[in-house]
Chain A
Amino acid sequence: MPERRDFIYSATLHLLVVLSFLVTLPSLFNRHDDQETPIVVQLVNLGPQTLATQRNLTPPVPDKPVAVATPAQPQPTPPTPPTAAAAPPPPPPMPKPSDTAQLPKPPLAKPDINPQPSQDLQKQQQDLAFNALLKNLAAKKLPQDTSQQANAKPQQSSQPVAPLGAQLSVSEIDLVREQIEKCWNVPAGARNAQNLTPEFRVTMNPDGTVQNAVQLNPERNNDPFFLAAADSARRALLNPACQPLKLPPEKYNQWQTFTITFDPKDIS
């Protein structure tokens, strides 16, 4: 008899253990479910108060040693136009054709006039255009930020996140969206504009300024239209006139990085 009871206990317990695995394991390793919890909007109103007390947030990121100069990188852009121009140059208006013949030379801008970058330059040349881009961008914004805060404070994580209201509300996201839209000069009239959808991962400083914006689909930049669209989107993100982004400081950990897609399909 006792064996039977033992057996039942054992079976039940095993069952429970298995069940608990089934229930908990998947979510243990799968943290990427997107869970939008826009419901808590009202609580968000507490934000401003929190903001007042938490004002000590310091945006900075340790200044990187890099000289930053990212100077004239003459080589990286040996564009096509010159070659085209270098082609046969028939006579323009009136000037003697023979003169025009020597017209545009293919060259790129003169070599580096400033010595400093030599080291960087080498590196850049090796890198793919894409990597060079990332690096430039990353190195970039720093000087600006550092100037603001000579008295840098340790920029520890902002604060423990309240479980409720910690998610960005839809209206908060809309606010930022509108802010960026005002700064985005769209490629109006471009052919197939609806396909020009550059995407970026943006890293933010706690004060709402953009630390850097890295393009996520740079492989499409060999299309000059896409490249131009990506540049215009990046300008929208980096435009100082459009910063800081109006994001609730107390939710910094929610928007410390975010991805953003620019899609002109609704425009032209």
Chain B
Amino acid sequence: MIRQTVLFRALCALLLLSASLAMSFPARAELHIDVTQGQIAPMPIAIPVFGSQDSKTAQNASDIVQVLSADLERSGLFKPIDPNAFVDRDAASHIPPRYGDWRTINAQALITGSVATDSDGKLEIEFRLWDVFAETQLTGLKYTTTQANWRRISHIIADAVYKRLTGEDGYFDTRIVYIAESGPLDHRIKRLAIMDQDGANHKYLTDGNALVLTPRFSPSTQEITYLSYARGTPRVYLFNIDTGQQEVLGDFPGMTFAPRFSPDGNKVIMSTTVGAASEIYTLDLRTRRATQLTDTPAIDTSPCYSPDGSQIVFNSDRGGSQQVYVMNADGSNIHRISFGDGRYGTPVWSPRGDLIAFTKIDNGQFYIGVMHPDGSGERLLTNGFLVEGPTWAPNGRVLMFFRQTPATDRSGHGASSKLYTIDLTGYNEREVVTPGEASDPAWSPLIP
């Protein structure tokens, strides 16, 4: 009996012990934190002057850094740090960089580089992009080019930096073709002009004898299609940038307008008047054969291909008011996608395919906006007395357009027309400086 009691107690004790043992290891899960909010602020980046061989390359080095810095700053995503704040005054000769010196001025990224000339007199330009906090090199490239090309290399470097830090292709090594305007409003001279994306290398392509409108780049960036009144009636023309040659596109009875290249560059899509209506046609550039895509008594115009070439967005008043429609590339399956207040025009499909930019007129105000190809998610980015002609940067993140301000008196004083860019986020609207008045910009693809 006693033995049994002892045994029983012992067992009870064992039980208790094992129970308390199990509980003495409290469950402890590793701490986890979810960060779902952040800042939308430009990243501080340090771009010390590149190293150089001699006084000549020193000038190149300083110019390159200036262009590179301006490119990145203009994007709104980067904030180049004032060189006066630099602790390391000889950054070019420190590889790897003295990270501590850059951390103290809160530089998150750093670009160092050097410029030299090789035996042929060509420039050798190299750069490295560093992550200051992680203390790693993010990318590093070297280019060899002629002296004259230093500016393009600066843009190419800016593109490489942009790409590495955002994941997105850059858009700095691109050009803009636009309509340069001058003279009084009733005798306006409009010329085709071309320049680098940052306004450099500006050049007029036509002499201003004939009115020109709506220029658009070919995917190869070597040709421009546009509308000209050269022979009295408005016609769609093709302009070769290298040769300066111009030719009329197609043999349509009515006027032709609103041209754009297909994504493969083999076709131009445009509108042509048929009586009081206008229809959408494509013209094959090799066979010169025209194909009609729409056939209604309405005004169908401003056609633009989707980047994969499978669909076309255009505007039409077939429903009573001017709205945006999408159809297949063969003209089938036409459906309306804009349903907001007001009228919609000049739809342009984003090069990355996810959005369509448009102009909207509502209550006497003009807006530039974007929506998804199914018409959802309409977002208005900017507005004004007259904002028109959106065109996408090749990476689909930035839009350029022109903004007109009204004249303050009857003689037309005070009126102006200028080019602007705005980020897809709706922030960072900037003027694109041109020598004179400007309208109808078209952004080239990245220069091949």
Contact flag A70-B135 (CB < 8 Å), given A109-B142, A184-B39, A231-B165: yes
Taken together as a complex, chains A and B put the C-alpha atoms of A30 and B22 apart, in Å, by: 10
Q: Is the CB of B128 within 8 A of A258?
A: no
Question: Is B18 among interface residues, defined by CB-CB distance under 8 A?
Answer: yes
Bound complex: CA of A99 vs CA of B40, how far in Å? 41
For B4, the chain A residues whose CB sits under 8 A away are 6, 9
Whether B146 and A95, one on each chain, are in contact in the complex, defined by CB atoms closer than 8 angstroms, is yes
Chain B neighbourhood of A23, CB < 8 A: 19, 22
Q: Judge whether A61 is part of the interface by a CB distance below 8 angstroms.
A: no
| A103→B149 contact, CB < 8 A | yes
Question: Which residues of chain A are near B276, meaning CB under 8 Å?
Answer: none
A89 an interface residue at 8 Å Cβ cutoff?
A: yes
Of B38, B95, B106, which contacts A72 at CB under 8 A?
B95
Contact A187 B167 (CB under 8 A): yes
CB closest chain-A residue, reference B19: A24
User: Known: A95-B146, A263-B36. Is A231-B8 also a contact (CB below 8 A)?
Assistant: no
Task: Note all chain A residues with C-beta closer than 8 A to B142.
Answer: 105, 107-110
Q: Which residues on the A side are within 8 Å of B2 (C-beta)?
A: none
Contact A102 B137 (CB under 8 A): no
Contact with A along B99-113 (1 / 0, CB 8 A): 010010010100000
What residues on B are CB-neighbors of A224 within 8 Å? 163-164, 167-168
Contacts A92-B152, A224-B163, A241-B106 given: A231-B141 contact, CB under 8 Å? no
Is B166 interfacial (CB 8 A cutoff)? Answer: yes
- B11 & A17 in contact (Cβ 8 Å cutoff): yes
The reply to whether B39 and A77 contact each other, CB–CB distance below 8 Å, is no
Which residue from chain B places its CB closest to the CB of A136 in the assembled complex?
A: B136
Q: Are A240 and B175 in contact (CB under 8 A)?
A: no
Contact A72 B140 (CB under 8 A): yes
Q: Are B33 and A176 in contact (CB under 8 A)?
A: yes
Give the contacting residue for A261; candidates B15, B32, B43, B201; CB below 8 A.
B32
Closest to B152 in A: A92
- Chain B residues with Cβ below 8 Å from A16 are 11-12, 15
Prevailing SS type, chain B contact patch = mixed
B133 contacts partner chain A, Cβ-Cβ < 8 Å: yes
Pair B397/A95 contact, Cβ less than 8 Å: no
Nearest residue, chain A, Cβ from B23:
A27
CB distance from B232 to the nearest CB of A (A): 33
Q: Is A90 a contact of B33 with CB atoms below 8 Å? A: no
Pairwise interchain contact A32-B96, C-beta atoms closer than 8 A? no
**A125 → chain B closest CB, angstroms:** 14
Q: A72-B95, A173-B33, A185-B39 are in contact. Are A34 and B27 (CB under 8 A)?
A: yes
Q: Is the CB of A13 within 8 A of B149?
A: no
Residues of B in contact (CB 8 Å), total: 85
Which positions 1-58 of chain A face chain B at CB distance < 8 Å?
6, 9, 13, 16-17, 20, 23-25, 27-28, 30-36
Instruction: List the A residue with the shortest CB-CB distance to B162.
Output: A228
B141, A109: Cβ atoms closer than 8 Å: yes
Q: Mark A163-184, 1 if CB is under 8 A from B, else 0.
A: 1000010000100110011111
A190 and B168 form a contact (CB under 8 A): yes
**Interface contact A108-B15, CB-CB below 8 Å:** no
Say whether A93 contacts B21, CB under 8 Å.
Answer: no
Q: Is A118 an interface residue (CB 8 A)?
A: no
Q: List 30 A-B contacts (CB under 8 A).
A: A13-B7, A27-B23, A31-B27, A33-B27, A72-B96, A72-B140, A73-B136, A74-B137, A81-B141, A85-B143, A92-B152, A93-B175, A99-B146, A99-B149, A100-B146, A103-B153, A104-B143, A107-B142, A163-B26, A183-B39, A226-B167, A235-B133, A238-B134, A239-B108, A255-B31, A258-B31, A259-B31, A262-B35, A263-B35, A267-B36
**Partner-B contacts on A (CB < 8 A):** 6, 9, 13, 16-17, 20, 23-25, 27-28, 30-36, 69-74, 76-77, 79, 81-82, 85, 87-96, 99-100, 102-105, 107-110, 113-114, 133, 136-137, 140, 144, 163, 168, 173, 176-177, 180-191, 223-229, 231, 233-236, 238-241, 254-255, 257-268
B: which residues have CB within 8 A of A?
4, 7-8, 11-12, 14-15, 18-19, 21-23, 25-41, 43, 95-96, 100, 103, 106, 108, 122, 126-128, 131, 133-146, 148-149, 152-153, 156, 159-160, 163-168, 175, 196, 201, 203, 220-222, 242, 352, 354, 396-397, 423-425, 447-448
